[in-house]
Amino acid sequence: MLVVILMGSKGDLDHAKKIAHTLEKFEVPYVMRVASAHKIPLKVLEIIKEYEEKDVVYITIAGRSNALSGFTDANTTKPVIACPPYSERFGGVDIFSTLRMPSGVAPLTILEPEEAALAAVKILAMKYENLKEKIKKYHEEKRKEIEKADEEVRSNG
């Protein structure tokens, strides 16, 4: 089992680290790689080929014109989760390059790094039973956070 965090450039590293942090909480192994579908598409293909025989989920990180997510998805049978970093530069409209994919290309799009990692863990949990219990525990912790917040608001209201 493995999550491949594939970045379009090293500039995406901070975003990737947020994903990695959540994967570490679930004790899910991951690797970080850098390759651009626009600049070195053959390198992306090499990376995909390297992991094709493993139980892997790809999380792709690319902004602007996000060819990486669609290109990766079109060249693997494995799940691909696009997690593009938000950019103020274009007022967020560059997200459309991630949301609008051609027919036959279907990467999932999740904007928040923690949730992208969680989705990858849930996909892997379909095969790895130990992850199911970790997800249940995670959900329970989130429920407790909300219950605590509700209690605090009611008490101070």
Give the containing element (helix H, strand E) for 96. helix 96-99
Instruction: Tell me if 9 is assigned to a ligand binding site.
Output: yes
CA distance linking residue 145 with residue 127, whole number of Å: 29
Q: Is residue 65 over pLDDT 90?
A: no
> Would you say 63 is a known binding-site residue?
yes
> What integer best gives the mean pLDDT of the chain?
95
- Position 33 pLDDT exceeds 80: yes
Ligand-binding annotation for 65, yes or no, is: yes
Judge if pTM exceeds 0.85. yes
Tell me how far apart the alpha carbons of residues 105 and 117 are, in angstroms, rounded to a whole number.
21
Check whether 69 is labelled as a binding-site residue: no
Task: Find tokens 């429920």 and name the residue.
Answer: 143
> What does the alpha-carbon distance between residue 116 and residue 42 come to, in Å, rounded to a whole number?
25
87 is in an annotated binding site: no
Q: Which domains does the chain have, with CATH numbers?
A: 2-130 (3.40.50.1970)
pLDDT for 156 equals 82
Strand partners, 4: 31, 58
pLDDT in tens, 50-63: 999 999 999 999 97
Report the percentage of the chain scoring pLDDT > 90. Answer: 87
The pLDDT tens digits of the residues spanning 69-128 come to: 999 999 999 999 999 998 777 777 888 889 999 999 999 999 999 999 999 999 999 999
Q: Is the pLDDT of residue 157 over 70?
A: no
For residues 148-155, give the mean pLDDT: 94
97 known member of a binding site? no
DSSP string, 11-58: GGHHHHHHHHHHHHHTT--EEEEE--TTT-HHHHHHHHHHHTTS-EEE
